[in-house]
Structure formats: structure tokens, C-alpha cells
Structure 1
Amino acid sequence: MERFFIQSCSIDKIVEIEELLLRRYSSLDYILNLSYKDGLEFIFKAYEKELEDRLWDRWLVDYRWMNESNFVSFEDYKNKTSSSSNKNVENISKEAIEEKVKEIINLTL
């Protein structure tokens, strides 16, 4: 399970990850019992779906002002937004990851 947390630190904020997973799923036991690679894929997929849900809500707000001349489908809206967003990937050193893991472990003791 320690490797799971080490890998998930690259996403940045553990509290936000836990909150996201608990909001989407009723129990973290299933996820925590996965191998770290599967768990990490699960987290990335949940994060991706959360972003898509937020984008859908934003599109619905914009949809109110659309008419025949300026209508944009959700798929086009999503493609336009994802192509214009700049995804920053933070490179974290092994030592920084280990320090974050120790902090998390200390919180659970």
C-alpha cells in the first residue's frame, strides 16, 4: 500500500484525492486493496470523469445563451477546452514523495 501512496503523490494533494474518491464512491477499501498501478489508474479515471462533469456543468450554463447561429455541441466544447488548457505536470523528486508519504502515514497513526 505504501507504493500506492508514493505513486499517487504525483497527483499532488492527497486530501483532494480522498475527497474526490469518497464523493464518487462509497468506500475506499476496494481502491486501496488494488495494486498501486491499478489504484493509480482508478484515481486518474475518477479525476478525468470529475473534470468532464465540471465541464458539462459549464457547458450547460453557456448553453442557455446559445442559439442556432452560435450553438456548440458538448463534444466540440470539450475538444476546444481541452486543446486550449495547459496541463502542467509537476515533477516531484523521490525524496519529496517519500516525505509526503511519511506525513500521510503519520496522520493515520
Structure 2
Amino acid sequence: MATTRRNGRERVLPHPDVRTISLQQMLEALVDPVRRRILGELDAAGQDLSCGTIDLPVSKSTATHHFHVLREAGLIRQYYVGTSRMNALRRDEVDEAFPGLLRAVLVTEPDRD
């Protein structure tokens, strides 16, 4: 579990066990194009990214909401490095619980000209 210290106390971000997530909750998190964009950026980067490095067409507070939904659905793991909140795609765990789901969702869409 990810932790950081604030005022001498640890902050812990909750991360659900992916095996306890229903397919409906997973799909509800994946239906939003901004959340799919976040996952696509994490997948393409091949490494963990801070929230601020992912360029999103929404306000900071709305982006925070999207990251929260993804974390609650078990799709990402968040942790702190200093003051930066880092995001990691939970590919292995999601693939084990829902084989092929991320592969299907993260397929690059063809250009629509």
C-alpha cells in the first residue's frame, strides 16, 4: 500500500483488491474517454507517471476525480514520491481478473478523417 508522511503521520491511499471489483464497476470506469486516455498514456509510457505529466482536456479537480475513479475500480495504483502522486497501471492484476479487457480497451483507434 502506498504511503507518505504528512505532519509526522503516514497517509495511506486505499487500493481495492482487483478480484473484489465487479465487471460492471470496471466497465463503468472504462466508459469515460478521459479515463481511457489516462490508461492509454500509462500503457504507452511503460512506466509510472505523475498526475501532472498526463495532459488532459479537463480541469485539475475533474482530473483528480477521474484518477480517483480509476483507483477505486482497481485499474491504477497511486503512491507518492515527495509531493508528486504517481500512477501505475495495474495491468497484471487486471489481466488476471479480467483476461483481455485492457487489451481490448487500449487498442489504438484508427484515425477518423
Instruction: Report the TM-score, using the length of structure 1 for normalisation.
Output: 0.24
Higher Cα Rg, which structure = 1
Higher strand share: 2
Bigger relative contact order, structure 1 or 2 (CA pairs below 8 A, ≥6 apart):
1
Higher helix share: 1
